[in-house]
Chains A and B, each alone.
Chain A
Amino acid sequence: DAGITQSPRYKITETGRQVTLMCHQTWSHSYMFWYRQDLGHGLRLIYYSAAADITDKGEVPDGYVVSRSKTENFPLTLESATRSQTSVYFCASKRAGGGRETQYFGPGTRLLVL
């Protein structure tokens, strides 16, 4: 199906484990983003990417790693999960072209770190 998908939708892991959240979009959008959503904070940007092999930190990057070897995929890795990383994670994408272009969000991944 066309659009932006995330997997898994739900994940439970333990402190110290490595976890990778997947994001895939079928539109060939240049930009992709990872946000986390926590109570009282709205959505905060973790990392973003302007194109394949170009990534940069957002507001809360510590403890996360991203890569973008292909335009359509933007995985987010928690190298050593901590309880404070329990959150809902959203991936988003948008076309190049300035602020007129809307960010499209995936359905989210709910992560629980025990």
Chain B
Amino acid sequence: AQTVTQSQPEMSVQEAETVTLSCTYDTSENNYYLFWYKQPPSRQMILVIRQEAYKQQNATENRFSVNFQKAAKSFSLKISDSQLGDTAMYFCAFMDLVFIIQGAQKLVFGQGTRLTINP
């Protein structure tokens, strides 16, 4: 079974600093997707960024970028020029593309990292 591990339960940085959140995963599959979700105090789960395992290039979305190391099974999230609104729980998630009975492609989540941006 796939597992996702986020080793940093909490992180705190000053506004405008850069912060990197770590994620490692375990799978025997070669084709999969990785995601970072943000969960602000409102509890809504918001997709931040997505990486396809077959793509060499690291995904970027404005201030958010990833460092995807497939051989090391590592998928870290970098937030540049951090803002107060980035304060949230961040979840790393994995989805393999092996079809099961109905092909639901389930997400497996890590435990989360609570990120606080201080003014």
Contact = CB atoms under 8 A, between A and B. Distances in A.
Interface in A24-61: 31, 33, 35, 40-45, 48, 50-51, 54, 56, 58
A99 B105 contact: yes
Interface string A51-93: 1001010100000000000000000000000000000101010
Interface residues of A, number: 29
23 contacts: A33-B104, A33-B107, A41-B111, A42-B111, A43-B91, A44-B109, A45-B106, A45-B107, A48-B106, A54-B102, A56-B101, A56-B102, A88-B43, A90-B45, A99-B33, A99-B105, A102-B50, A104-B47, A105-B37, A105-B45, A105-B46, A107-B43, A108-B44
Q: Give the bracket for the number of chain B residues in contact with chain A.
A: 20 to 34
Tell me if B's interface is mostly helix, strand, loop or mixed: loop
Residue picked from B37, B46, B104, most chain A C-beta under 10 Å: B104
B64 interface: no
Interface of B: 4, 32-33, 37, 42-47, 50, 52, 91, 95, 97, 101-107, 109-112
